[in-house]
Each structure stands twice: as structure tokens, then as C-alpha cells.
A and B are shown apart, each in its own frame.
Chain A
Amino acid sequence: MPDLASGLVAHIRDNSARLAAPCTACGECYRACPMVPRTPALADAAPATVMAGIRDILRDQPGTPEAIAFAGACVRSGTCTDACPEKLDAAFLMRLASLRVRGALGDTPRVTASHDARWSARVKAFARLTMTDEERAEWL
């Protein structure tokens, strides 16, 4: 489905640019993130520098190792949005950066994403135990 794929890719690129433009890289979102103290690669990182790297990632640039680590550490806590003085949807900004460092746009992944290769089969196997034949026929 090339049109669908290009539609999502364009959506990711457009919103990356839209959110990177007003971001001042002040680092308030970084300071509010509960994952920062849990991520050893960010131990000595400066918030403003990391966020400047995040803006680079959103602008199709490679980004710094710290910015890549921060994007890879995002677990969608959303505390960044409340912290943003520019009232940006910082959670979506970080989601886009996270997708991009995982290689969503087709480039080489910069962080390793966990992936259950047998997810679909596993879901269906559980469904055979928890749902009736009729339910599976109508609900799946």
C-alpha cells in the first residue's frame, strides 16, 4: 500500500517539522521526565543540549548520542507536555522522535526496539483459550 505508507511517513515528517520549529530546547520536558534518572546514558547530559539533539532528529539530522538515548528511553509518560513552557504537545514530539530513532521512516535504526515476532500468533493462541468459537468468529 504505497499511498498509505507515504501518507503516514508524510504525517510523521510534517508533524516533526511542525513541533521542532517552536521548540526552544529549554530542556524543561527533559527535567520532568521520570525516565531520565533511570537511563545511565543520560547521567551527565545537559537538558538543553539533549533537546537540541532531539530537534535535530526531528529535522532529519542524525542527532547526538544523548538525544538518541533520550528518544529511545521514551515510554510515553507524558509528563513532558505539562512541563513545556511553550505549551507544545511534547509527548507527541517525543513520540515522533522515538519512532524515528527506531527506524520507522526506513532508515537504519539508531536504537533497538523490542519486538515480539510471534505477536499475532500469540494473540490468536490466547484467544482460542479465552473466547468461544462464536466470539472469535465475530470479535477477531
Chain B
Amino acid sequence: MAVTADANVTFWYGCNMARHGEIVRLVTQMLEAVGVAAAPAGGPAYCCGSPQEANARIAAGMAARTVEKFNAAGRDMVVTWCPSCHMNMDDLMAPVTEAAFETQHITQLLVARAERLRPLLTHEVPARVLLHAHHGFHGRVPVNTDVPALLGMIPGLTMREHELRVPGHMCSAIAPRPGELARAHRDTLAAMEEAGADTLATVFHSCHREAVALERGRPIRVANWIHLLADAMGLPYADEYKLWRNAEDPRAAIGHDRVAAAGDVAFEQLVEPELRRAPPMQNGIP
């Protein structure tokens, strides 16, 4: 996909979104469709410092480098995806290293341009959708109302209400605590049933990569909110992470040639264990 040299915003997709290249691509296409030329930037070279937050010396260096790179890019706005990155920019990065740009979350930008987005949502997406909502981040950016507002513009799609809010700002926050992710998934399935939903819409990447395993053996769909907007816009994509995570043999699902091109050892040591690990809530357990 060509990158716009004349981009007027940076789309800071974060680090772990590298697992979901199609979402980066789709967001860039959507922004372009509503009149925003975005240059994606992410990965470890644009880290917010969060993975090293237990060491302020290391985190400070990573965070400062990222702010300086955004400053050097000369764009007025950095559009965030990841709630950790967004909050770190507000709370720990920009207050320490002066930022020459405004920061806005992707949901805020799309809501602000909703009337340009609405006529592009021409394809019916028959789905009864429950939002996978967390308590956190909504106080900073109202994602739990903004995402349903955007999805509610899709023809054929209905949002289903439920009071469930999972602790934390996204699932990676609760994942290290034994049993919490399984509890969140059990609660989510119960909420889907109570709300009459057949589709779970994840907001963030770390939630998505855990929740996709809920599809196993269940007549439900797990999709990121961007996937649903893409369906409505007729934008082609494949949620490959979900395909790989739910495949009996991830290597075969990816394809041996593609694995070899990416590096066989790296795949075996870094990718395959994640794709093969047991789902937080084992299939069949209510």
C-alpha cells in the first residue's frame, strides 16, 4: 500500500498492532476516504515506553525518541489507536518532551467526520453487536459511546446494550492476573446471550487477539470495530490473526513459504507459541 508523502497526520498505531496489519491498512484507507491523509507509524521504534514502564530511565529514552520523531515529521496531528500510547503521550511523554503536535484518538477523528463517513457505509452488515467495553480509557476518550455511534451508522447492524464493563483499559492489562481473562470472557459470553447479540465488537487490538478464540465452537463472530466499518464500506481485508489463532495448525494456515520468508526460527520462538496457546477460557466451558 502506498504511503502518502504529503500526509497531514501521523497514524500512530502502536507496537502490538503489528499483529494486525490489515487494521493499519484499513484505518489509513478510512481516513483517506474522509479527507485525512495519514502516514502510519508504529512498532518498537515508535514506542511510548509502556513495555519498559518499570524503569523510568529506559522508558524516558524510548518516549523522548518517539516524540522527537513525530516532531521531526512536521505533521500537526498524531492520531492514536492504542489507549496505552494515548494516555502515555498525555501523561508522561508530552509533559517531559515538548510535542509540536496535537494528539487525537482515531475514534474522535472519525466521529468528528461522521457525516463524511456515513454515505460511504453502503453495504449491509446484518449483525446484532455487543461492544467489548472496558471501564478504563472511556474517561479519557469516550470510546464506549463513540464506537457504538459509528457502528450504528452501518445499515443492517444493530447495537445491543449491556451494562458489562471489563476492568482495565484493555485486555492486556488484566491478562497477567490469573483467571481474569477467563472471567472476562465468561462474562462477555453471558452478556452476549442476555443482549441477544451474535457479534462481539472489540475496540482494541489486545482484546481482539484474545477474544477471537471465543469463536471456536460457537455460532458467534468476533470482529474489531474497524472490520465492521470496512465490511460496510466494501473494503477488502482478511483478519489473518483470527484465522491463524483458530487454526489447528497455524503454520499450515499461514503457509510454509510465508513462514520461511518471515524467518523460521523467529516464527517458532516468537509467533507460534502465542498462536498455539490455549484460549483463556477453554472451549465448551460456560
Contact = CB atoms under 8 A, between A and B. Distances in A.
A binds B: yes
B3 A139 contact: yes
Contact of A127 (B1, B18, B51): B18
Contacts of B61: 1, 4-5
A26 interface: no
A7 B98 CA distance: 11
Given A5-B61, A78-B135, A125 B169 contact: no
A62 B167 CA distance: 27
B56 A106 contact: yes
A61 interface: no
B41 interface: yes
A37 B219 CA distance: 33
A7 B96 contact: yes
Give the interface size bracket for B toward A: 35 or more
A103 B56 CA distance: 9
A4 B18 contact: no
A129 B262 CA distance: 6
B21 A77 contact: no
Contacts of B53: 99, 102, 104, 113
Interface string A82-117: 100000000110010001001111100100011110
B256 to A, nearest CB: 13
A105 B51 contact: no
Contacts of A91: 136, 139
Q: Please indicate which of the listed interface residues A35, A125, A129 has the most CB atoms of chain B within 10 Å of its own CB.
A: A129
B55 A129 contact: no
Interface string B210-240: 0000000000000000000000000000001
Contacts of B267: 125, 129
B19 A126 contact: yes
Majority secondary structure, B binding face: helix
A76 B40 CA distance: 27
Contact of A34 (B25, B43, B92, B167): B167
Given A8-B56, A9-B56, A138-B3, A127 B43 contact: yes
A116 B15 CA distance: 13
B54 interface: yes
Interface stretch (B99-107, B173-181, B193-201): B173-181
Contacts of A78: 135-140, 169
Given A4-B60, A7-B97, A125 B177 contact: no
B149 interface: no
B86 to A, nearest CB: 12
Interface of A: 1, 4-5, 7-9, 11-12, 34-35, 38, 73, 75-79, 81-82, 91-92, 95, 99, 102-106, 109, 113-116, 118-132, 134-135, 138-140
29 contacts: A1-B64, A4-B64, A5-B61, A8-B96, A12-B56, A35-B167, A38-B177, A75-B136, A75-B168, A75-B173, A75-B174, A78-B137, A91-B139, A95-B91, A106-B55, A113-B53, A118-B270, A119-B44, A120-B51, A123-B19, A123-B43, A125-B262, A125-B270, A126-B18, A126-B19, A132-B1, A138-B3, A138-B40, A139-B40
Query: Which 10 pairs show the lowest CB-CB distances between chains A and B?
Result: A130-B21, A75-B168, A8-B60, A114-B176, A140-B43, A128-B262, A77-B135, A127-B18, A75-B173, A5-B57
